[in-house]
Chains A and B, each alone.
Chain A
Amino acid sequence: MSQLSVDHLLGIKGLKREDIELIFSTADHFKEVINRPIKKVPSLRDLTIANLFFENSTRTRLSFEIAEKRLSADVVNFSASSSSVSKGETLIDTVKNILSMKVDMVVMRHPNPGAGVFLSKHIDARIVNAGDGSHEHPTQALLDTYSIREKLGNVEGKKVVIVGDILHSRVAISNIYALNLLGAEVMVCGPSTLLPKYIHTLGVKVETDLRKALEWADVANMLRVQHERQDLKYFPSIREYTQMYGVNMEMLNSLDKDVVIMHPGPINRGVEITSEVADSDKSIILNQVENGVAIRMAVLYLLASKIKR
């Protein structure tokens, strides 16, 4: 197979396993490209991509922009804080206006779940979801599973625990879908107030004791506590959260095996993981960031190949 089964990347949920494998094998080639002395290929030189960020982002926006530029696409950036959104313009109007300027693809982050799906029904451009509220963040899940594959050789059969604020995390949901598709075993771990009520219906194990979870796992993906999405107090204090669900070196060393530590960023050092762990050789956090560019190049390249001239 050399073609994706979808026209937009709105979530992992609509993908097949072969799609993910195609994205991975394409990303392998782009990873070689971005390690060349000259890190650029001309594939998308006649396409224009708009990065619409209705919500804050550093890593994802930079990563997409670098991926687009490495593919030689023309790039326009937009962030909600400095735009007409604050003057009351609707999402469709904003995007239609941008598309009138002949944009071929849209990379969008939006605070509302389903914003990408909604847009894909109303406009004629390829859409890549760069995070929609607490729904999905597909490219993050792709780069996370790609990084696991790179570190451990394979994703199938590996045990992955996702730790922390599962309730508000689009990274967790997309990761669960992707890991399930690729045949990994998935566990979620966190305070029961931050675990969604019906999480077991996604086919994951549930554990509230971090130590037991780490003893089980090959990989631990540590999530940030998303204070900005929390409308109530879900745990008594950050200090207590750290004591119960923070990973430190002492705990990792007391396990009788190695657990690969991942984090989607941004890290709150000293909350979900200590600096010592984040900077140790057990962590592949910076590999994730590097792989993010290769994965996004692969996604954009494969979606672009479906835009006929």
Chain B
Amino acid sequence: MIQRILLGEKDIKVTLERLACQLVENHGDFKNTVLIGIQPRGTIVADRIKAILSESYGLSDVELGYLDITFFRDDFRRREDPIEANKTMIDFLVEGKNVVFIDDVLFSGRTVRAALTAIQSFGRPENVELLVLVDRRFSRSLPIQPDYSGRKVDAYLEEKVVLKWREYDDIDGVYFELKND
């Protein structure tokens, strides 16, 4: 297996700081804006963004929720193994709010499609935006594009973009992986 590094620990830090800064430019004091991390791994990006907003911009009470989209997927009964669900934790309504979806990698766009349906269970948002750390452009199956993207990546379909996080893997990093067989 060939593996090469795309973003190291420091790159990720700088990228997330830039993304947080862009959010502040558009959302100011976050009075009417909520962050929604998409399970499973968008939640880590969302946690980090929230921490930066609090430390660098003094925005300590930005509302953050986690949304699981398992039951809204469009590939139920088309996979060999069903996917196990994760926790949804949204203890506020999004009615009339600006919602920022946060995910780690944007690939086909199907997760975001499901998230757009799933979020409706918590009200009708005024606005929905999408923030991703890695945007695998040219691999979209649906007309969905990010509003904020950390790094645009052109990868072969057979290539995997793998994200590692301190919370799970002891290290932060974004890697390309290609099976050579």
Contact = CB atoms under 8 A, between A and B. Distances in A.
Nearest to A305: B82
Interface string B115-147: 001101111000000000000000000000000
B122 A36 contact: yes
B83 interface: yes
A141 interface: no
Contact of B78 (A2, A26, A32, A309): A309
> Dominant SS at the A interface?
loop
A43 B76 CA distance: 7
Given A2-B82, A26-B85, A32-B88, A37 B76 contact: no
Given A29-B85, A29-B87, A302-B82, A38 B77 contact: no
B70 interface: yes
A307 B84 contact: no
Interface string A273-309: 0000000000000000000000000000110110111
Given A2-B83, A37-B121, A37-B123, A42 B71 contact: yes
B90 to A, nearest CB: 8
B81 interface: yes
Nearest to B86: A29
Is chain B's binding surface mostly helix, strand, loop or mixed?
A: loop
A125 interface: no
Interface in B65-103: 68, 70-72, 76-78, 81-88, 93
Contacts of A71: 71
A92 interface: no
A37 B81 contact: no
Nearest to A298: B85
Given A36-B121, A37-B122, A2 B87 contact: no
A38 B82 contact: no
A301 to B, nearest CB: 8
Interface in A172-210: none
Interface string A51-81: 0000000000000000000010000000000
A38 B117 contact: no
Contacts of A41: 71-72, 118, 121
A302 B83 CA distance: 10
Contacts of B86: 29
A37 B72 contact: no
Contacts of B118: 41
A305 B76 contact: yes
Contacts of A40: 121
A47 B81 CA distance: 19
Contact of A304 (B70, B77, B88): B77
A309 B123 contact: no
Interface string B48-77: 000000000000000000001011100011
A42 B86 CA distance: 17
A34 to B, nearest CB: 11
A302 B85 CA distance: 12
B93 to A, nearest CB: 7
A52 B8 CA distance: 59
Contacts of A29: 68, 70-71, 85-88
Contact of B77 (A2, A33, A308): A308
Interface in A2-44: 2-3, 25-26, 29, 32-33, 36-43
A309 to B, nearest CB: 5
Contacts of A25: 84
A32 B123 contact: no
A3 B82 contact: yes
18 contacts: A2-B83, A2-B84, A29-B70, A29-B71, A29-B86, A33-B121, A36-B121, A38-B120, A42-B71, A42-B72, A301-B71, A302-B82, A304-B76, A305-B76, A305-B77, A307-B77, A308-B77, A309-B77
Interface of B: 68, 70-72, 76-78, 81-88, 93, 117-118, 120-123
Which 7 interchain pairs have the tightest Cβ spacing?
A41-B71, A305-B82, A38-B121, A29-B85, A36-B121, A2-B84, A43-B71
Given A41-B121, A42-B117, A305-B77, 17 more contacts: A2-B81, A2-B84, A3-B82, A25-B84, A29-B70, A29-B87, A32-B88, A36-B121, A37-B93, A37-B121, A38-B121, A43-B71, A71-B71, A304-B76, A304-B77, A305-B76, A308-B77
